[in-house]
Structure formats: C-alpha cells, structure tokens
C-alpha cells in the first residue's frame, strides 16, 4: 500500500506586541479577509467555544482555492491547531498550528507550522503547494506583525459599517444586477471601464479602471464570491494602484434580504476596512485628528460608491418584469 509522504514547513516572526494581542488576531478568523492578505472570505460553519469549522477562500499562486478546515483554539496556551477536512486537488492532507510564545510584556514569537501531502507525491504538485504555502505564510506573518505592533491604536484604524436601501421587488432581479455588475460601466463612480471574468463556479475577478485627478489613472481588482441561494455576494480588494494608499485592506458584502413583513427586500452594502497608517500620515498628517478625518473621508467615499450601486440595483429590479412562478 502506498504511504503518502508528508512535507513539513514552518515560518516565524518576532513581534513587538503582547502574546494575547497576536493570539486574538489569529483566533478571529472571520476578520482574516482584512487581517491576512491571502484570505478572501471565511464562513464559520460550526463553533462550540473550543473548536470551529470554517469554509475558507484563499489566493494561492494567483489562483482562488477553497477548503473546509477545523480549528481547535487554546487561548491559555496561545495555540491554534488546524486540519483541513475538504481539500482541493491535488492535496490529500493539510494541517498545522499557530503558536504564540511570550518573549516579554510586549514582545512575542509567532510560529506558523504546516504539513501536507499530495496525490502520488508528484514533484510538480509538491513544489506548487510549497510555493503557495511559503508566500501565503510570509504575507500573513508580515501583516500580523504590522497589525499587532499597532495594537494600541488598531481600533481606530479598523472600521466596519453598512448602508441599506429598500427595494419593492423579489430577490432574483436585485441579485442578478449585483452579480452582473460589469454590464453598467457607471456602476462605480469615476470608472472608465469594468470587467468581470468568471474564475470557477461562483467566483469572479472584477477589474475596474478609474480616472484620477490630473489625468492619473487607478486600477482596482477584487475577488467576488456569489451565494445565489442566500442572496449574497462577498468580495475583497486584492489590488489597488491608488497612491498614496488610504486603504491597507478592504472587503465587503452585498446582501439581498427578504423583508420580514413579506413585501420587497432590503439590500445591504457592508464594508470592512483597515486604514493604511502611512497613507493617512501622507495625506492628513500625524495624530488622532488625522486618523479621525481619514476615517470620515474613507467612509464617505465608500458610502458614495456603494450608494450608486444600491440605487441602480433598485431601479433595475423595480423596473424588471416579474417572473411567473
């Protein structure tokens, strides 16, 4: 009988932050889309206080991969063990651990360990997983260090909010408009072009070209994942050429929710973002006032952008013919 070869990898980083802060960032997987660059979206399927099952979508070597994983959390030991349950080919197993060791009152060592096996131990597949794991681990640890070392002011740099609109229409035409966003080049304020490409079932890559000030141009790319039966589209920005950058990370969701009173739907635009502290400083200067002004400016901009799409979705759906049952 063939025994799969198990490959083991580890990376670590020293961080000027308390161990509890680092552990908290790692434990809060639902915020990984704005905490860890490779993570696009996380759905919590189960949680009993000690263990959880997660469905995750992650970028890997430029591709979008998805899997289900179980994590066991130990806040006392500052350790999280994980093991993937449903894996994409060619992997046959993947797991590992996060450990955070205190090195002083405000200094820690965080280590990410991975082990994996692939079908027939094929060299090309092993190399592919090693490249993806190395790059993603490095990106995750780098971002965790940057976030944790700002722990005293992190609450001011992270923001979440939502905007809504009532639509007198069923779920389907609203979701259809949001899913086919690229059909309207004016769906994003200032856009000179929108392109949406399908990257597998329910997964899209949306590229937006924007006209900037003084003849400059800006390009954004975001991954979108659709859940048509739930009336949801989640997304994460994975590239933005804006300089200076005001956003360190941005993810969000379009949700079409039937109204409790049985008539029409509520469309919700949710935003989750982390401010880029260097970009804030370059635009608005130093200090708490600069961060406050940046938060207000960012929220106003994102509200304007999603507000245009919400109004268009309303106009599209309320003008769409009603389908026969």
What is the tens place of the pLDDT at every residue in 263-317?
899 999 999 999 999 999 999 998 889 999 999 999 999 999 999 999 999 999 9
Using alpha carbons, list the distances in angstroms from residue 148 to 24, 57, 139, 157: 9, 23, 14, 12
Per-residue pLDDT reduced to its tens digit, 28-50: 999 999 999 999 999 999 999 99
pLDDT of 325 above 90: no
For residues 219-238, give the mean pLDDT.
Answer: 96
What's the pLDDT at 288?
A: 80
Per-residue pLDDT reduced to its tens digit, 72-97: 999 999 999 999 998 888 899 999 99
Helices (H), 204-276: none
Longest dimension (CA), the chain: 67
Report percent pLDDT > 70 for the chain.
96
Give the pLDDT band of residue 213 (cuts 50, 70, 90): low
- Strand duo 158-167 + 191-198: pairing: unpaired
DSSP string, 139-165: HHHHHHHHHHTTTTTHHHHEEEEEEEE
Per-residue pLDDT reduced to its tens digit, 48-74: 999 999 999 999 999 999 999 999 999
Using alpha carbons, list the distances in angstroms from residue 282 to 13, 34, 48, 246: 28, 22, 44, 9
Per-residue pLDDT reduced to its tens digit, 168-199: 999 999 999 999 986 777 888 888 889 999 98
Which residues pair with residue 91 across a beta bridge? 118
What's the pLDDT at 244?
A: 85
Q: Phi then psi for 117, rounded to 5 degrees?
A: -140, 150
pTM for the structure as a whole: 0.93
Buried b (16+ CB within 10 A) or exposed e, 282-310: eebeeeeeebeebbeebeeebbebbebbb
């Amino acid at each position: 009988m063939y025994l799969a070869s198990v490959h083991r990898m580890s990376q670590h980083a020293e961080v000027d932050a308390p161990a509890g802060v680092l552990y908290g960032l790692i434990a809060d997987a639902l915020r990984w889309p704005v905490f860890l660059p490779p993570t696009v979206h996380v759905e919590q399927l189960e949680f009993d206080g000690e263990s959880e099952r997660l469905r995750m979508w992650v970028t890997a070597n430029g591709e979008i991969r998805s899997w289900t994983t179980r994590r066991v959390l130990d806040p006392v030991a500052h350790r999280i063990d994980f093991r993937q349950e449903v894996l994409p080919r060619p992997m046959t197993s993947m797991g590992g651990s996060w450990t955070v060791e205190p090195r002083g009152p405000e200094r820690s060592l965080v280590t990410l360990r991975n082990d994996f096996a692939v079908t027939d131990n094929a060299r090309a597949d092993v190399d592919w997983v090693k490249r993806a794991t190395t790059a993603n681990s490095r990106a995750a640890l780098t971002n965790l260090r940057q976030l944790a070392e700002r722990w005293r002011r992190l609450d001011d740099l992270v923001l979440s909010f939502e905007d809504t609109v009532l639509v007198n229409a069923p779920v389907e035409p609203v979701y259809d408009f949001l899913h086919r966003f690229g059909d309207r080049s004016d769906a994003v304020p200032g856009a000179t072009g929108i392109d949406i490409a399908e990257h597998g079932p329910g997964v899209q890559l949306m590229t937006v070209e924007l006209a900037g000030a003084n003849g400059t141009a800006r390009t954004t790319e975001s991954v979108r994942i659709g859940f048509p039966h739930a009336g949801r589209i989640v997304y994460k920005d994975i590239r933005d050429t804006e300089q200076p950058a005001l956003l360190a990370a941005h993810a969000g969701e379009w949700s079409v929710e039937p109204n409790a009173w049985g008539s029409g739907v509520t469309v919700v635009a949710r935003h989750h973002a982390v401010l880029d502290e260097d970009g804030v400083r370059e635009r608005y200067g130093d200090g708490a006032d600069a961060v406050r002004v940046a938060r207000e400016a960012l929220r106003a901009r994102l509200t304007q952008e999603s507000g245009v799409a919400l109004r268009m979705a309303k106009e599209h759906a309320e003008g769409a013919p009603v389908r026969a049952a």
